[in-house]
Structure 1
Amino acid sequence: MRLENLVMQARDAERVGAFWTQALGLVDAGPTDFGFEGRLVLGDDLFLDLSVEQVDRAPTPSPRLHPDLAGGARQQEVVDRLLGLGARHLDVGQRDVPWVVLADPDGNPFCVMEDREAFRDTGPIAALPLDSADPERDAALYAALTGWVQVVGSAPVTLRHPSLRGPLLELCRELSPKQGQNRLHLDVRPEADDPSRDELVDLALTFGATRADDDWAQGHPWVVLRDTSGNELCILDQLDG
């Protein structure tokens, strides 16, 4: 199984896609039928696709999933570069913290992180923090669906690709219950020798996930689920060959 896509929504998918292409060094980036997509190459056969879905509504004030970008010793230089690409500073009540909170051109928040040992070999995205009502429970679900393993991190539970490359998936204790649809979500795809899409859906249900019954979640070649904290995630069709 592969955690394949980080999907975000934007009112101007092409503009936001162009920003993230430059910010992250995406390849094979360009418009799609639903918006925009580009690939973040993390190593041999290891990648994460950033998909930007065109929507009409503005971003929600407090997204439960967002990217933390690697800043390290060059944090201020990274921040200045992102501001030059069209990002802006954002106040979400963070006060005195060692990371810098920014928003992309459509208002989607993200952070530029300080230097941490846990962020070695992550690539430009250091972490994907995800709000959770029960980090241990949600971690068990995502580990089962992706094959990612638990590692030491600053979140209550942290998962990472078993190669120990690429971003961390940080299960963070939520400050309040989920309301409405998340602006960002993750997609998982079964590969050729993996269980099928429907088998992965059944596996997710045994770990406490539920099927999304909203009208917008129906009629797709993928299955829209909610994790045990209500966060949307999708199981894509199996790869051929």
Structure 2
Amino acid sequence: MLTGIVIDALDVARMGRFWQDATRGRTGGLRLRFTPTARPKPARKNRLHLDLAGGPDWEAEVARLLTLGATRADIGQGDVPWDVLADPEGNEFCVLRPGHPGVLAGSGLVAVCLDVAEEDRDAQTAFWRAESDWHAVEHEAWGVRLRREPADPVALVMGPPAAPKAGRNRLRPEVTRRDGEPGEFLDAGGNEFHVAPPTG
């Protein structure tokens, strides 16, 4: 079952505070876990990023996030109906405006977006349906959304374009399994993900 996102951080405490405030603590039950690293983020775009809902006053929400320490980011997106920002360590994320397809909440985390090449879409969809235990599937022309349930506010979004894989991903999904070996593994597209044992 998909239970969280692991994020490498130069400053674990600062990143934890930023994302707690950025999401307003609304993560749809996913845990954001920060692990220390000495590696700054490479210049290339991350293969996994988070989307936040901007809500009806999205301009004010973007301003709030900038005040928290986010910066505007240019990943070649051009003129798009959402805002691309980066967290204090340069990890890209999007702020989605009202009316954006698939947004089921007015604030907080609404999507975990994984780059998937078009030719890998079927294999990745099958892989992540099994690993995440999220079975509500929404097919779009550009890709696929998975949700725990149809009304769940957070989706796992998979679609192109896929950033080149060069080194270990800075953001990685975390799944919890009742059986199987904990550790770090690769998905069907060569992306790292963590397996954690169940708690309690």
TM-score computed with the length of structure 2 as normaliser: 0.89
Matches within 5 A, 1:187-226: 187-190=174-177, 195-198=178-181, 222-226=182-186
Contact 1:121 1:165 in 2 (8 A): no
Secondary structure of the structure 1 residue equivalent to 2:123: helix
Shift of 1:153: 4.9
Q: Of 121, 124, 147, which residue of structure 1 is paired with 2:108?
A: 124
Residue aligning to 1:75 = 58
Shift of 1:146: 1.9
| Percent of pairs with identical residues | 34
Contact 2:47 2:162 in 1 (8 A): no
Q: Of 127, 148, 156, which residue of structure 2 is paired with 1:141?
A: 127
Counterparts of 2:33 and 2:93 in 1: how far apart (Å)? 16
Determine which structure has greater relative contact order: mean sequence separation of CA pairs < 8 Å that are 6+ residues apart, divided by chain length.
Answer: 2
Secondary structure of the structure 2 residue equivalent to 1:67: strand
Q: Which runs of 5+ in 1 are unaligned?
A: 27-39, 199-221
Counterparts of 2:159 and 2:167 in 1: how far apart (Å)? 19
Residues 41-87 of structure 1, C-alpha deviation per residue, up to 9 Å, x if partnerless?
63xxxx11111111111112210000011114221111011011111
Secondary structure of the structure 1 residue equivalent to 2:46: coil
Q: Of 168, 184, 206, which residue of structure 1 is paired with 2:155?
A: 168
Contact 2:53 2:105 in 1 (8 A): no
Instruction: Point out 4+ residue stretches in structure 1 off by more than 3 angstroms.
Output: 152-155, 174-177
Q: Which amino acid aligns with 1:126?
A: V
TM-score computed with the length of structure 1 as normaliser: 0.75
Q: Of 24, 36, 48, which residue of structure 2 is paired with 1:54?
A: 36
Counterparts of 2:111 and 2:68 in 1: how far apart (Å)? 21
Structure 1 residues 148 and 123: CA distance shift in structure 2, 3 A:
farther
Counterparts of 1:24 and 1:126 in 2: how far apart (Å)? 9
Provide the aligned C-alpha RMSD in A.
1.9
